[in-house]
A and B are shown apart, each in its own frame.
Chain A
Amino acid sequence: MIAGWETLPSALAAHLAISAAALALALLVATPLVLLMPGRPWLRRTVMGLASVVQTVPALALLALFFPLLVLLRNLTGLPVPSLGLLPSLLALALYALLPLLRGGAGGLAAVPDSVRDAARAIGMSASQRLFHVELSLAAPVVMGGVRTAAVWTIGAATLATMVGQESLGDLIFAGLQLQDWQQVLLGCVAAAALALIVDGALGWCQRGIAERRWAPAAKGLVLLGLLAVGVTGWWLHSRPATQVRPVLIGTKTFSEQYILAELIAADLRAAGQPTGVRSGLGSGIAFQSLAAGGIDISIDYTGTLWTQALGRSDVVPRADMLRILTEQLKSRYGVTVAARLGFENAYALAMRRADAERLGVRSISDLARVSAKLKLATDLEFLSRAEWMAMRSAYGLEFASMRAFTPVLMVAALKDGAADVITAYSSDGALAGADFVLLTDDRGALPAYDALLLVAPGRDDLARRLARYDGRISVDAMRIANWQADRPTSKRSPAEAARWLATETGLQR
């Protein structure tokens, strides 16, 4: 069976629900605006201008922007406004759907010929009769065209809601991308595309019915939409485990190590009779925020990341002090418990091709600083804006010929084929186990430690106790090999399979 198949019904149902809700909200906002537009050119200009500006913001950025906005709103009002999951997704997707709806509505009304408007007035129709029987009726096909566009966009953009912690078909796509499990990516994409096509087709029937003033096609469209909703809901209910208890949720960021460890812990908890689910593909900062807010129960995070992102510190302190301070402050400031230090580090590091390193005599970052001005650096998407890079740059005086950001899975390929000479890597990165690269040592201690920690949400001390036995059990070599099993291009293993190997290897399996 294709990986991700068992999560498909739930992801599909969530995807359809969030898309429908966002579209409904957008319709609720757009309708009065469109009806107020005729005769108010200033309103039309303002609203269309704003909607166009919104459209220039990439959907992913728009989703991400709602997170700080909602946090700010929560802090200002003191109300329990959720900043992750459903609410930001709903708001961002609705905002994104506004432009096509407004365009369709305003365009449709503007396209009603003046002679027809005039005739409607001249034969003695009231303002509301003119609006409903003439203007809206004539505009309806164009308006429906806008609804169709909005629906297709929303279904497409909803895949990105995964990044702010809302379940969607994006779960499959992002997990698959990270694991280079193209079947799973394809499954998510095909499901989203099929959903978009079916909805577009159904709305197309409705549009045709409206345009031709015939009930049959419109009814066909509505029946198709109804069947879709019933079918997806039914499949989801059918596939859902019978238990009514909310499962323990393990949140993961977007890389293999996180998926593997989540599967390891999930299998462990399930074996003990605890229903457990995995919310995969959360953005880096969002996983922690979601944990602190109780949206997920368990996450795997790293000391250096928490040091800067959760505590807002940029100083470098000894490893033991950092762990102690984090344990205290995460508890006092967020209620989050550090249940275990897993025993390996996933630190930011720089890697080079072995042949280059030997030719140039580079072993450490200090060595690299001598020759870096001629080299091309490839980083992950966030490294260049992180405090670690600032610290590394000022400690070593690093300058590169060029610097480009890549998605993590492509960085290794970039180094292999010469698109880059130096890449950011992680010390537990599986690719380092499988390629002829060298890791450069941080000889001046500029970077904080990145010890992997198991974190538990506030109020779940029961879980913290159960997870304490993981403390110090996973070595960096074991983690690197498990990562390589999931990341390697051939005879790839699923995260669950890699997790089983890791459990046996480390003796964690009972």
Chain B
Amino acid sequence: MASAPTAASVPPPELALALTGVTLALGGHPVLAGIDLVVRQGQFVALVGASGAGKSSLLRLINRMLEPDAGTVAVHGADVAGLDAMQLRRGIGYAVQGGGLFPHWTVADNIAAVPWLLGWPKPKRMERAAELMAMLELPPHLAQRFPGELSGGQASRVGLARALAVSPRLLLLDEPFGALDPETRDELGDRLLALHRAQGLTTIMVTHDLADALLRADLMVVLDGGRVVACGPPAEVAADQHPAVQNLVATPLAQARALAGMGK
């Protein structure tokens, strides 16, 4: 699988993520075609695009939930094809819409799932879970509850806490706040950004919320039909005239202008 290391294919270690010529087909259908993407450490990346553009698949290539048909994926300078998939995944935070929590585990056990996999003793796991609950403003009495008893916002916070449990350097988020009401989503978006900055994380977030992407991301990547059609700071991308980009940003920008007009 791994191509011979050359000067061009081994990215420098300060790069959190480097995708080179990544191509992927699922069930005979092309999903991603020749993706090149570089993310520096500490960047907050928003991955946007229409449904079916390949956003989630791209995310899943990074922790080897999917394997590319061609090209390389490097995390912190190491080609992931040469790493043990389970170890790699344990070292990368991952959260999905609704939290993806284990319904039969308590909140504390869910949060401490990766520490459990790494063999931490129980007191240390519970201590870490309490710490993360405080960090994400979850009331301590929820620790022994089950996910079915949580509100949507609480479940999303628990999912995020689980992703952060062993202080990963890289965080992958697949529409983490997708099903929440706008107010909670905004509040959690701010909380996430603050954690990202405070812990020096690199965050890759798939989102449908363009306002979220435009306002919070350092780097905005627009996918269309399995290709990167725009990549750069949100202000630059918003001005890009590519029709796929304009389709995405026109409505939120127009709404923002209209709202700004009302405020005056």
Residues of A within 8 A of B (CB): 115-116, 118-126, 129, 134, 137-138, 213
Contact = CB atoms under 8 A, between A and B. Distances in A.
Contact of A120 (B63, B90, B102): B102
A121 B102 contact: no
A134 B98 CA distance: 17
A123 B90 contact: yes
A124 B104 contact: no
Given A116-B100, A126-B86, A137-B104, 9 more contacts: A115-B97, A116-B101, A116-B102, A119-B100, A119-B101, A123-B114, A123-B117, A124-B91, A125-B117
A127 to B, nearest CB: 9
Among B91, B94, B162: residue with most chain A CB under 10 A: B94
B104 to A, nearest CB: 5
Among A116, A124, A137, A213: residue with most chain B CB under 10 A: A124
Given A115-B96, A118-B96, A124 B101 contact: no
Contacts, number: 51
Contact of A134 (B87, B89, B96, B102): B102
Nearest to B60: A122
B102 A122 contact: no
Secondary structure type dominating chain B contacts = mixed
B119 to A, nearest CB: 12
Contacts of B89: 121-124
Contacts of B140: none
Contacts of A129: 117
A117 to B, nearest CB: 9
Interface of B: 63, 65, 85-91, 94, 96-98, 100-104, 113-114, 117, 162
B262 to A, nearest CB: 38
Contacts of B65: 118, 121-122
Nearest to B117: A124
B104 A115 contact: no
A462 to B, nearest CB: 65
Nearest to B163: A123
B117 A138 contact: no
B60 to A, nearest CB: 8
11 contacts: A118-B96, A121-B65, A122-B63, A122-B96, A123-B89, A123-B90, A123-B113, A124-B114, A125-B86, A126-B86, A137-B104
A123 B168 CA distance: 12
Contacts of B88: 124
Contact of B96 (A119, A124, A125): A119
Contacts of B100: 115-116, 118-119, 122
A124 B92 CA distance: 9
A122 B104 contact: no
B164 to A, nearest CB: 12
The 10 closest A-B pairs by CB, nearest first: A119-B100, A124-B90, A124-B89, A122-B94, A115-B100, A124-B86, A137-B104, A123-B114, A123-B113, A138-B104
B239 to A, nearest CB: 35
B155 to A, nearest CB: 11
Among B88, B90, B102: residue with most chain A CB under 10 A: B102
A138 B113 contact: no
Contacts of B97: 115
A116 B97 CA distance: 11
Contacts of B85: 124
Contacts of A123: 89-90, 94, 113-114, 117, 162
Contacts of A126: 86
B158 to A, nearest CB: 11
A123 B89 CA distance: 6
A129 B116 CA distance: 11
Nearest to A126: B86
Contacts of A124: 85-91, 114, 117
